[in-house]
């Protein structure tokens, strides 16, 4: 099933011969998800390439999720939460930010293209900002091209085994 | 074997206008585990919900995905529908095809493809959902209010009138706080004690309120609905049950020259004292540090003369333990003393005083009987200079905020002075005039126009003494910065309103947050002004931020209503989206290694330590345990855990990784 | 005790009596003052208002020379010199790049190991170390201790603890049996460098200082700075004209007051150089103790 998604995407790319980036966004429920809802309510258009995954807080984000996303064929990953100081859970986004600062160095060292990871703060009132962010990121990833460095070699692994 | 039902909503034209719901439903029908996949115009309507309920019953669904609007919109609606059909509500997820898809994209194939992807992601997630049940936490319906000023009094009365028990803890010998020290209150010039003392008496007589004065909080443990408080009732050295408040002991006490705290040091009191005549309770306290018997072993005059033999020199502090369900913190404020100002004499000049001193001078029951007199020689001042913003709004002095009440009480003081000394001249040196409340601006205009108070816009650089008068060196910025030098007989500084010195210690005892100025932090500056981040603890009054009496009262009533809400149920029901540390049979017990990184990361103090012991008490290991009553479900601990021992129900690792793998 | 000594320009010129009195009391207090070899002007307000690097390089060179000569402390009697040297030491310690640049300019190493010490501080040490025992002739006058600006500002460099109402000079004067008065102008500006360009401003500002001291019963004003002395003493005529009053209160350097108390002659201490004659009531002529 997961395979077919990748295949489908690849087929699509082959068919249209224009690379359409696959973007995954891990967002927090209280700020960015709400902000993205506002984008919808405001009917602001943006690129179709992003798939939003909802989490209670950016502090919940395990960086293995990001790597797995790349492994699943994502060409870019976005992580977005509440502005520092506004976290619904007080300090979750501080943890996320700290984790990102440390993790970015490690990823870069390991040869992961950290330009493909976009870390941002989008509040529930910033509907326009979310649209701009997505559009801009999609453009950047389109310029960088597909990311096939880390294909999953054991596609039959179940989620429980992967996490 | 999963049996998932997918319900794709058209939302009229909102979704169907851009996304092809039939195609989505058709694609979803082919997802592994999906046994039912339909589309309908309005899923949230009654017929729509019935579709879901019927499918649950007929197809024995183990999970439901509603592909419609944002879960922030209708998740509760569909979860309720599932529950009514007998499916655990937490086995229902929503795919956001509207706000995140149809409303933001064009009508192109990619949009429908995205919708299909979004549905697939949620199907994979819901296959890993487990039934969750709301967490029930018992509630002790007794509140503790810390602080017996106007805010504490208001909160206590409101909670008590709502039918719940209240324990009011006040560290001074009497309740009343600073409001009891005021002469008149702005903007009505109501006599402060006249409006306060009836409330104080009401507190003392209320059947639901237990009053502990001369007492402080020793410690607080537990969590919302289930706190354990330990209160230290300091030794008054009086048997309160026998004391009638006759006051003979105070008259007979030989030590009469102790600066009275209530009179801000301007008047004197004896070693055995009641702070003011209208004190509640009207029972004295022996100030052991200044009592001749306690310091030198002699005297005992009060004991000799007490008609009811109520003096108890051997009384000890008592620790009282109570169970409470909620705490309201209303511990109030203090003001900076004149010694804080080197440029105004280091506090060494008796005729440079604070606003609180002036209140006592103006007060009819004060040390001068309501006559404004210079503390140095008792003369009535002919010229009084009031300095606003003394310390406040001054980052160089470490206080960058505005104390909010000073513009108003300075105008009040100037007016009172002019009323009492009609031939006197009053000057106010100010930076701005902040009079934002109801009838406040009119009040200040009255001071300027009717009572001829001279307002000079400029700061005072320094004050020095010369020939018994005070030379005030300021500037008038509205006259091009011309220096102004005045000779005054009395200078009143509107000193900054600050948190108590030990506000930090109290905040740490309660495990609540506070800011760099030691004011307690509310949960959200705009929308949650009376709650704190620690569940079950509420805040009211100036301990949270500078404010005046109407605001303190309003906030206190707000806090009381939150407490009443908390107590309106016998059990607290909480969303089960909480973290859980895994447990396993022996010999593993748990994969948790006891590093407690989660404990230090948790903003809600929700992680506890659990000792796992053998049958005969040997400690095997100490592992983490999440208190479901406190956990707010952010998941920070889950990402931090080095051994993958903790997971967040509703957003488990398996669920989220499944979503990622469904891409 | 050996200590580096930086007299600065004014002590060689218009305020030479400060130098004379300091050198006269030094041996009595056990101080050996070693002048910093090849010292230069500290730049005072002239360099400070024109060029930031010059304003740091000039005093830094003096510090570097003292450091090179191996001294841990350098005594700086003039308050302006004191503040320039202390400011340079402070600025260089905070900014490594700046320090490197300045050292390059002066072609010397200035690492800040030499501390800058004021006369007040050094006399304070003597006061707690037996100065009272050396007093031959109690000063016995009512004195107004005038600190001026640089001993209390800026806050990071201040020698005195209570910036609005310092007490160090008073404590010292009490040890020599003077009677310091409480007065209101001890840290108010005297007019400083306006002494040359705007004598009228000095007459006003210094006039207020003199007036307050006299009004509160002082018999002498004690200073620790050549600029203060010049404005309060040399400009006395302008002050009297401005205030339309005859003020005859003398202005003494703190070293002169201590010198008189230790029994040294007025001539030795340079009191004859003052504009306002130094007449102190109720003092007998002191017997000279040591003339060298």
C-beta neighbour count of B157 within 10 angstroms: 22
Measured CA to CA, the distance from residue A150 to residue A143 in angstroms comes to: 19
Chains that touch B (3 or more CB pairs under 8 A): A, C
Chain A contact set for B603 (CB, 8 A): 89-92
C-beta neighbour count of B176 within 10 angstroms: 28
Measured CA to CA, the distance from residue A76 to residue A117 in angstroms comes to: 6
Query: pLDDT (tens digit, 9 = 90+) per residue, C137-176?
Result: 999 899 999 999 999 999 889 889 899 999 999 999 999 9
The pLDDT score that the predictor gives to residue A83 is 85
User: What integer is the mean pLDDT of B317-336?
Assistant: 97
Measure in Å the smallest separation between the Cα of A21 and chain B Cα atoms: 12
Q: Go through C29-51 and write b for each residue having 16 or more CB atoms within 10 A of its CB, e for each that does not.
A: bebebeebeebbbbbbeebbeee
Q: Which residues share a beta bridge with B268?
A: B259
Domain assignment of residue C7, yes or no = yes
User: What integer is the mean pLDDT of B6-15?
Assistant: 94
At C286, the pLDDT band (50, 70, 90 cuts) reads low
Chains that touch C (3 or more CB pairs under 8 A): B
Of C164, C212, C215, the CB nearest to B343: C164
Same domain, C38 and C147: no
At B547, the pLDDT band (50, 70, 90 cuts) reads very high
pLDDT, chain B, mean: 94
Q: Name which of B451, B479, B309, B454 is nearest B385 in CA terms.
A: B454
The pLDDT score that the predictor gives to residue C289 is 56
Among the residue ranges B230-234, B260-264, C68-72, C191-195, the one predicted with the least confidence is C191-195
Among the residue ranges B489-498, B628-637, C85-94, the one predicted with the least confidence is B628-637
User: What integer is the mean pLDDT of C5-33?
Assistant: 95
Q: If residue C100 lies in a helix (H) or strand (E), which one and from where to where?
A: helix C96-106
The pLDDT score that the predictor gives to residue B604 is 82
User: What integer is the mean pLDDT of C73-81?
Assistant: 96
Query: pLDDT (tens digit, 9 = 90+) per residue, A127-156?
Result: 899 999 999 999 999 999 999 887 777 766
Q: Which two tokens stand for residue B550?
A: 């109407």
Instruction: Please name the residue of chain B whose CA is at the shortest distance from the CA of residue C186.
Output: B464
Please, are residues B523 and B632 in contact by the beta-carbon 8 Å criterion? Answer: no
Query: pLDDT (tens digit, 9 = 90+) per residue, B577-592?
Result: 999 999 988 888 899 9
At C284, the pLDDT band (50, 70, 90 cuts) reads low
Domains identified in chain C, total number:
2
E strands, B586-630, are 607-613, 619-626
At B526, the pLDDT band (50, 70, 90 cuts) reads confident
Give the CATH number of the domain where residue C77 resides. Answer: 1.20.1050.140
**A12 pLDDT higher than 70:** no
**Contact flag B462-C164 (C-beta cutoff 8 Å):** yes
**Contact flag C184-B465 (C-beta cutoff 8 Å):** yes
CA contacts within 13 A on the Cβ side of B427: 24
User: What integer is the mean pLDDT of C170-190?
Assistant: 95
Measured CA to CA, the distance from residue B90 to residue B135 in angstroms comes to: 13
Tell me if domain B142-231+317-322+522-567 and domain B334-498 are identical in fold.
Answer: yes
User: Which CATH architecture is the domain B142-231+317-322+522-567 placed in?
Assistant: 3-Layer(bba) Sandwich (3.50)
What are phi and psi for residue B209, nearest 5 degrees?
-110, 130
DSSP code string of B432-473? -----STTHHHHHHHHHHTS--EEEES-EEEEEEETTEEEEE
Query: pLDDT (tens digit, 9 = 90+) per residue, B52-88?
Result: 999 999 999 999 999 999 998 899 999 999 999 999 9
Domain assignment of residue C279, yes or no = no
Query: pLDDT (tens digit, 9 = 90+) per residue, A27-70?
Result: 998 889 989 998 999 999 999 999 999 999 999 998 888 888 99
Q: Which two tokens stand for residue B50?
A: 């019935």
Same domain, C234 and C207: yes
Of A54, A92, A162, the CB nearest to B636: A92
Q: Which two tokens stand for residue C230?
A: 């010049």
At A72, the pLDDT band (50, 70, 90 cuts) reads confident
**A158 pLDDT higher than 90:** no
At B527, the pLDDT band (50, 70, 90 cuts) reads confident
**B543 pLDDT higher than 50:** yes
Assigned fold of B334-498 = FAD/NAD(P)-binding domain (3.50.50)
What is the distance, to the nearest Å, from the Cα of residue B642 to the centroid of all Cα atoms in its chain?
35
The pLDDT score that the predictor gives to residue A17 is 57
Measured CA to CA, the distance from residue B351 to residue B373 in angstroms comes to: 9
Domain assignment of residue C99, yes or no = yes
Domains identified in chain A, total number:
1
Please, are residues B597 and B636 in contact by the beta-carbon 8 Å criterion? Answer: no
**Contact flag B466-C184 (C-beta cutoff 8 Å):** yes
Domain assignment of residue A133, yes or no = yes
Domain assignment of residue A156, yes or no = no
Residue C164 domain boundaries: 134-273
**B574 pLDDT higher than 60:** yes
Chain B contact set for C165 (CB, 8 A): 342, 345-346
Domain assignment of residue C128, yes or no = no
**Contact flag C162-B466 (C-beta cutoff 8 Å):** no
Give the CATH number of the domain where residue A129 resides. Answer: 3.40.50.960
Distances (CA, A) of A32 to A124, B71, B335: 6, 14, 42
User: What integer is the mean pLDDT of C258-283?
Assistant: 91
Of B100, B604, B663, the CB nearest to A74: B663
Same domain, C63 and C173: no
**Does residue B74 belong to the interface with chain A, where contact is any CB pair within 8 Å?**
no
Give the CATH number of the domain where residue C213 resides. Answer: 3.40.50.11810
**B463 pLDDT higher than 60:** yes
**B484 pLDDT higher than 90:** yes
Domain assignment of residue C25, yes or no = yes
**A1 pLDDT higher than 50:** no
Domain assignment of residue C287, yes or no = no
**A10 pLDDT higher than 80:** no
Length of chain A: 163
Please report, to the nearest 10 degrees, the dihedral formed by the alpha carbons of residues B269, B270, B274, B277 taken in order: -50
Domain assignment of residue A109, yes or no = yes
**Contact flag A56-B651 (C-beta cutoff 8 Å):** yes
Q: Which residue has the tokens 């000792």?
A: B611
**C287 pLDDT higher than 70:** no
Chain A contact set for B116 (CB, 8 A): none
Going from N- to C-terminal start, the domains of chain B cover: 4-127, 142-231+317-322+522-567, 248-305, 334-498, 579-661
Q: Let me know if C272 is exposed, middle or buried by CB neighbors in 10 A (0-12, 13-18, 19+).
A: exposed
Q: Which two tokens stand for residue B661?
A: 């793998």
Of B32, B105, B654, the CB nearest to A163: B654
Measured CA to CA, the distance from residue C238 to residue C151 in angstroms comes to: 26
Same domain, C88 and C143: no
Length of chain C: 292
**Does residue A67 belong to the interface with chain B, where contact is any CB pair within 8 Å?**
no
Query: pLDDT (tens digit, 9 = 90+) per residue, B646-656?
Result: 999 999 999 99
Name the DSSP class of A82.
P
Assigned fold of B4-127 = Rossmann fold (3.40.50)
Same domain, C112 and C138: no
What is the distance, to the nearest Å, from the Cα of residue B354 to the centroid of all Cα atoms in its chain?
27
Query: pLDDT (tens digit, 9 = 90+) per residue, B329-383?
Result: 999 999 999 999 999 999 999 999 999 999 999 999 999 999 999 999 999 999 9
The pLDDT score that the predictor gives to residue A9 is 54
DSSP code string of C31-52? -EEEEPTT-----HHHHHHH-H
Distances (CA, A) of A51 to A25, A31, B64, B423: 6, 17, 20, 78
The pLDDT score that the predictor gives to residue A6 is 47
Q: Which residues share a beta bridge with B470?
A: B465, B488
Measure in Å the smallest separation between the Cα of B345 and chain C Cα atoms: 8
CA contacts within 13 A on the Cβ side of B129: 28
Residue A86 domain boundaries: 20-144
Domain assignment of residue C142, yes or no = yes
Same domain, C175 and C77: no
The pLDDT score that the predictor gives to residue A11 is 52
Domain assignment of residue A104, yes or no = yes
Chain A contact set for B654 (CB, 8 A): 159-160, 163
User: Which CATH architecture is the domain B579-661 placed in?
Assistant: 2-Layer Sandwich (3.30)
The pLDDT score that the predictor gives to residue A64 is 86
Same domain, C55 and C142: no
Tally C-beta pairs within 8 A across A and B: 147
User: What integer is the mean pLDDT of A91-108?
Assistant: 90
Domain assignment of residue C289, yes or no = no
Q: Let me know if B600 is exposed, middle or buried by CB neighbors in 10 A (0-12, 13-18, 19+).
A: exposed
């Amino acid at each position: 099933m997961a395979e077919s998604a990748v295949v489908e995407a690849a087929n699509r790319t082959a068919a249209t011969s224009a690379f359409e980036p696959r973007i995954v966004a891990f967002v927090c429920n209280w700020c960015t998800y709400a902000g993205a809802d506002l984008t919808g309510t405001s009917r602001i258009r943006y690129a179709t390439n992003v798939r939003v995954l909802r989490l209670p807080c950016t502090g919940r984000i395990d960086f293995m999720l990001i790597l797995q996303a790349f492994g699943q064929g994502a060409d870019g990953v976005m992580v977005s939460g509440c502005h520092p100081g506004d976290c619904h859970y007080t300090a979750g986004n501080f943890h996320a930010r700290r984790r990102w600062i440390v993790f970015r160095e490690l990823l870069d060292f390991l040869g992961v293209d950290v330009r493909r990871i976009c870390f941002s703060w989008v509040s529930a009132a910033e509907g326009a900002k979310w649209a701009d962010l997505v559009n801009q990121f999609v453009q950047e990833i389109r310029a960088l091209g597909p990311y096939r460095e880390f294909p999953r070699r054991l596609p039959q692994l179940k989620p429980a085994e992967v996490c | 074997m999963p049996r998932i039902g997918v319900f794709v909503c058209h939302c009229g034209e909102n979704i169907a206008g851009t996304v092809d719901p039939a195609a989505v439903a058709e694609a979803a029908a082919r997802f592994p585990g999906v046994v039912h996949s339909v589309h309908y115009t309005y899923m949230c309507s009654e017929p729509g919900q019935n579709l879901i309920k019927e499918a649950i019953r007929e197809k024995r669904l183990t999970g439901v995905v509603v592909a419609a609007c944002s879960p922030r919109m209708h998740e509760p609606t569909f979860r309720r529908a599932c529950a009514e059909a007998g499916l655990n509500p937490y086995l229902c997820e929503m795919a956001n095809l509207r706000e995140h898809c149809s409303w933001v994209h064009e009508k192109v194939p990619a949009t429908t493809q995205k919708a299909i992807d979004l549905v697939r992601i949620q199907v994979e997630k819901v296959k890993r959902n487990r039934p969750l049940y709301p967490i029930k936490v018992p509630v002790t319906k007794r509140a503790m209010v810390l602080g017996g000023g106007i805010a504490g009094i208001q909160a206590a009365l409101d909670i008590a009138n709502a039918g719940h028990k209240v324990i009011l803890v006040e560290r001074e010998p009497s309740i009343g706080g600073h409001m009891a020290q005021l002469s008149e209150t702005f903007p009505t010039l109501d006599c402060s004690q006249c409006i306060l003392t009836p409330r104080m008496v009401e507190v003392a007589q209320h059947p639901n309120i237990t009053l502990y004065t001369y007492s402080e909080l020793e410690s607080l443990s537990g969590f919302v609905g289930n706190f354990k408080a330990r209160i230290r009732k300091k030794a008054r050295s009086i048997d309160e049950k026998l004391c009638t408040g006759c006051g003979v002991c105070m008259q007979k006490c030989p030590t009469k020259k102790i600066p009275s705290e209530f009179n801000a040091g301007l008047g004197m009191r004896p070693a055995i004292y009641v702070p003011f005549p209208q004190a509640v309770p009207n029972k004295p306290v022996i100030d052991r540090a200044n009592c001749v018997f306690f310091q030198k072993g002699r005297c005992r005059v009060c004991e000799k003369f007490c008609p009811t033999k109520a003096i108890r020199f051997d009384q000890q502090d008592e620790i009282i333990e109570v169970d409470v369900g909620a705490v309201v913190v209303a511990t109030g404020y203090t003001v900076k003393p004149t010694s804080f100002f080197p440029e105004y004499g280091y506090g060494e000049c008796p005729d440079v005083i604070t606003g609180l001193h002036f209140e006592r001078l103006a007060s009819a029951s004060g040390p001068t009987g309501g006559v404004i007199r210079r503390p140095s020689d008792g003369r009535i001042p002919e010229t009084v200079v009031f300095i606003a913003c003394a310390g406040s709004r001054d980052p160089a002095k470490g206080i960058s905020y505005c104390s909010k009440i000073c513009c108003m009480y300075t105008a009040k003081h100037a007016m009172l002075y002019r009323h009492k000394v009609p031939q006197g001249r009053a000057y106010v040196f100010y930076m701005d005039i902040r009079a934002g409340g109801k009838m406040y601006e009119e009040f200040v205009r009255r001071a300027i126009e009717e009572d001829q108070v001279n307002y000079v816009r400029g700061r005072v650089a320094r004050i020095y003494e010369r020939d018994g008068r005070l030379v005030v060196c300021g500037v008038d910025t509205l006259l091009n910065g011309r220096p102004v030098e005045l000779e005054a007989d009395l200078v009143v500084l509107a000193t900054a309103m600050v948190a108590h010195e030990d506000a930090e210690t109290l905040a740490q005892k309660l495990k609540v947050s506070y800011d760099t100025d030691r004011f307690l932090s509310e949960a959200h500056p705009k929308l949650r002004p009376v709650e704190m981040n620690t569940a079950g603890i509420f805040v009211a009054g100036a301990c949270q931020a500078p404010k005046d009496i109407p605001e303190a009262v309003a906030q206190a009533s707000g806090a009381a209503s939150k407490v009443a809400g908390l107590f309106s149920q016998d059990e607290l029901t909480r969303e089960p989206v909480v973290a859980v540390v895994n447990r396993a049979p022996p010999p593993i017990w748990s994969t948790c290694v006891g590093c407690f990184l989660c404990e230090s990361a948790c903003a809600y103090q929700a992680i506890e330590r659990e000792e796992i012991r053998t049958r005969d008490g040997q400690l095997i290991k100490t592992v983490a345990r999440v208190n479901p009553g406190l956990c707010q479900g952010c998941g920070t601990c889950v990402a931090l855990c080095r051994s993958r021992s903790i997971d967040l129900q509703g957003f488990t690792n398996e669920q989220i990784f499944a979503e990622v793998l469904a891409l | 005790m050996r200590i580096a000594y930086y007299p600065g320009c004014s002590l060689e010129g218009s305020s030479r009596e400060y130098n004379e009195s300091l050198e006269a009391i030094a041996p009595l207090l056990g101080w050996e003052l070693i002048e910093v070899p090849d010292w230069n002007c500290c730049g005072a307000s002239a360099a400070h208002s024109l060029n930031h690097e010059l304003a740091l390089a000039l005093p830094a060179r003096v510090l570097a020379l003292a450091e090179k000569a191996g001294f841990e402390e350098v005594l700086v009697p003039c308050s302006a010199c004191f503040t320039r040297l202390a400011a340079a030491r402070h600025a260089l310690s905070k900014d490594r790049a700046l320090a490197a640049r300045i050292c390059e300019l002066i072609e010397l190493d200035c690492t800040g190991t030499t501390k800058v010490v004021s006369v007040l501080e050094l006399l304070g040490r003597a006061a707690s170390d037996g100065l009272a025992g050396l007093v031959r002739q109690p000063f016995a006058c009512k004195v107004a201790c005038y600190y001026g600006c640089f001993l209390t500002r800026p806050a990071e460099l201040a020698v005195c603890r209570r910036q609005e109402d310092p007490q160090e000079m008073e404590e010292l004067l009490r040890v020599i049996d003077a009677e310091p008065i409480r007065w209101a102008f001890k840290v108010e500006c005297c007019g400083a460098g306006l002494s040359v360009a705007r004598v009228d401003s000095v007459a006003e500002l210094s006039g207020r200082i003199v007036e307050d001291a006299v009004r509160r019963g002082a018999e002498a004003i004690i200073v620790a700075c050549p600029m203060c002395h010049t404005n309060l003493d040399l400009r006395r005529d302008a002050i009297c004209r401005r205030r339309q009053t005859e003020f005859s209160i003398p202005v003494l350097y703190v070293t002169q007051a201590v010198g008189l108390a230790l029994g040294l002659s007025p001539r030795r201490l340079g009191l004859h150089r003052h504009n306002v004659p130094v007449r102190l009531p109720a003092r007998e002529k002191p017997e000279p103790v040591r003339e060298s």
